[in-house]
Structure 1
Amino acid sequence: MSYLAIVDLGSNSLRVVVEEIHDDGTHDEIMREKQDTRIAQGMGEELLLKEEPIMRTIRALKAFQKLYAHYQPLTVKAITTAAVRMAHNQAMFLSRVAQETGIMFEVLTGDQEAYYDYLGVVTTLDVQNATILDTGGASVELIPVAGGRHLATVSLPFGAVSLSERFHLENQAQLNDISAACGYILSQYATLPWLAHQKGLPVILLGGANRSLARMSRQQFGEENIEQIHGYELPFETVELIFDALCQLSRYERENIVGLEKSRADIIVSGLLPLVNLMRTLQSPKVIFSESGVREGIIAELLSYRHE
């Protein structure tokens, strides 16, 4: 028996999953932790990671290390995505993290991130024909699926944090700012010719903002456990109703919504914009939520290599 820790530094959150690996190749999750470190905060057009988010991230990494260090023998797989991928001071950040924590991060390309999203989804949900959307803090990943196979893996350079900062959506969202953000998102979608072939298909959702959408919906419908969202479905009409309601609220009012993390209140409107615009473009009838994504895709790949 051994242990595998996946350390996943996203643009908004740092997540750690520890799996107990059995001799027969099966595995059980024994630890899952998350902290909103928001490494992408304040990067701006210069695309520089700032000191405060860096320090916040390193503190969280050290805290998580203490939680998983006693699992032995342990393999640590550390990956990071859009914010660090785009940062002009990436090398400095990675060197500093390695020096202060000993953690060596692999920077995933956009295509790799999208592929692991696909792998994580198809190993836990029966997906035949759909479009997978993962909304992160500084990027969105899009994967068209036909007959259970991915047709493309795409990463676009915008996300919940970057859209919120660029279009001033943190507090009371103004209609002209929302319209400007929608125009930008649609211009990015227009670069994807395969979207035309995905019309009428459901969208499978990953990412923190999308998980918040599921929890808010389950709370509104009086579901017993709002955290049980894997495989949960919503029609587009409900998605639009929730989004429109959020747009009418101040940041303070959003902070008090059950199902929405307080730390995500300033980026929930921007975090749902990629989804709303995608569903309108595709005339998609519904969304299906997935709890499995990049981390689960990496676990599936690593374990398949071990088994071979």
Structure 2
Amino acid sequence: MTHFAVIDLGSNSVRLSVWSVKADGQPVAETKAKEMVRLSEDMGDEMTLKEPAIARTIAALQKFKAIYSPLEDLTIKAYATAATRQAKNQKKFLKRVQDEVGLQIEVIPGVREAELDYVGVINTLNVQSGLIMDTGGASTELVLVQNRQLEHRISIPFGSVNLTEHFVHHDPITPGDLFRLWSSVTNVFNGIWWLREAQNLPIIALGGSNRTLAKVQRRKHHFRNFEDIHGFRMLSRNVNRVFAEIVDADVEARKAIPGLSRDRADIIVAGLVPVVTMLRFIDADKIIFSQNGLREGALYEYLQGTQRVAADENVVDETLTDFTVDD
């Protein structure tokens, strides 16, 4: 029996997924693990990873190594996204991981991250068209899907952690902070010309902040497995109700909201502004939630022996490298 593992080193959390692969090629999920490391915390204008965040990340990766190292016939992929991608001390950080964990990490561009999200979604959700939106700690990936084909994609350098650091200066957030945050996010969306093609399509939401909406809603309605949100649909009016409840609360009160992780209480408002803004921007009536994204995309590429699923010359790779804020 072979094994396949993926590590997704994000800006807020690091995650591990492990599958065994049967002789007929069918994957069986074996292990999932997550550690909140806040790798992008306090990167500042100098855009350097700080020692406390590096130490937390290496400790988490060492925990993961204890899980995957005993496995036989293992193929492992380790991807780093926005925080590492943006860091000026990226090479030094990667060398420390190599030296202390024995793990080689591939830093992928935002459009590659978006592509893997698309592969993970399209192989596990029955959706024809929609806007995939993956809000992480320091980047947000958007993918326009039409008739199950990837049409456009872009990576935007904002997420729950860096938006919080830029805009959320009070607890609870003030109307002025919220307005400046909302305006800056809207200005970025205004500059993405192809979003007009997403009008009235559902949003397919990935990322811990976005998934929080579904978990809070499911807890309100007493779902037995409230965290099992893959394929769960939520109307925009219910999204707005949950978001209003979160915005009205301070950090301590948010920690008590059922379905909202205490580890996200301080960054959840800024983390949700992009998806709530997008609902209005494209006039979507619902969100469809996906638990599968980058890691599952890597799995299906491995199983199918494919990569660069959107290599068609008509698909343009786009990445925003600058996000100017007025705070």
Q: Which residue of 2 aligns with 1:250?
A: 250
Cα deviation code 1:223-244 (max 9, x no counterpart): 2221110110111111011111
Q: Which residue of 1 aligns with 2:312?
A: none
SS of corresponding position for 2:43? coil
AA matched with 2:212: S
The Cα shift of 1:209 comes to 0.6
SS of corresponding position for 2:200? coil
The Cα shift of 1:222 comes to 2.0
2:82 is the counterpart of 1:82:
yes
Matches within 5 A, 1:168-187: 168=168, 171-187=171-187
The Cα shift of 1:23 comes to 2.0
Matches within 5 A, 1:185-196: 185-196=185-196
Q: Which residue of 2 aligns with 1:106?
A: 106
The Cα shift of 1:170 comes to 7.1
User: Is contact 1:169-1:269 (8 Å) kept?
Assistant: no
- Separation of aligned partners in 1, 2:178 and 2:166: 11
The Cα shift of 1:47 comes to 0.9
SS of corresponding position for 1:103? coil
Matches within 5 A, 1:19-58: 19-58=19-58
Cα deviation code 1:221-273 (max 9, x no counterpart): 22222111011011111101111111110100001111111101011111110
- Separation of aligned partners in 2, 1:300 and 1:264: 30
Q: Which residue of 1 aligns with 2:230?
A: 230
- Separation of aligned partners in 2, 1:280 and 1:186: 10
Q: Which residue of 1 aligns with 2:18?
A: 18
Could you tell me which runs of 5 or more consecutive residues in structure 1 were left unpaired when the two chains were aligned.
Answer: none
AA matched with 1:202: P
Q: Which residue of 2 aligns with 1:4?
A: 4
Q: Which residue of 2 aligns with 1:62?
A: 62
Q: Which residue of 2 aligns with 1:300?
A: 300
TM-score of the two chains, using structure 1 as the length reference = 0.97
AA matched with 1:45: D
Q: Which residue of 2 aligns with 1:157?
A: 157
User: Is contact 1:170-1:266 (8 Å) kept?
Assistant: no
Cα deviation code 1:170-218 (max 9, x no counterpart): 7311111111111111111112111111111110000001111111000
Q: Which residue of 2 aligns with 1:145?
A: 145
User: Is contact 1:11-1:137 (8 Å) kept?
Assistant: yes
AA matched with 2:93: F
- Separation of aligned partners in 2, 1:169 and 1:81: 26
Cα deviation code 1:2-29 (max 9, x no counterpart): 1111111011111001110122211101
- Separation of aligned partners in 2, 1:206 and 1:2: 28
| Percent of residue pairs bearing the same amino acid type | 40
User: Is contact 1:132-1:145 (8 Å) kept?
Assistant: yes
- Separation of aligned partners in 2, 1:260 and 1:138: 20
- Separation of aligned partners in 2, 1:222 and 1:170: 32
Runs of 4+ in 1 over 2 A off after TM superposition: none
User: Is contact 1:172-1:250 (8 Å) kept?
Assistant: yes
What is the total number of aligned residue pairs between the two structures?
306
SS of corresponding position for 1:78? strand
- Separation of aligned partners in 2, 1:163 and 1:62: 29
User: Is contact 2:168-2:270 (8 Å) kept?
Assistant: no
SS of corresponding position for 1:153? strand
**Aligned CA distance change for structure 1 residues 139 and 180 (closer, same or farther; 3 Å):** same
- Separation of aligned partners in 1, 2:255 and 2:83: 25
Q: Which residue of 2 aligns with 1:267?
A: 267
User: Is contact 2:231-2:288 (8 Å) kept?
Assistant: yes
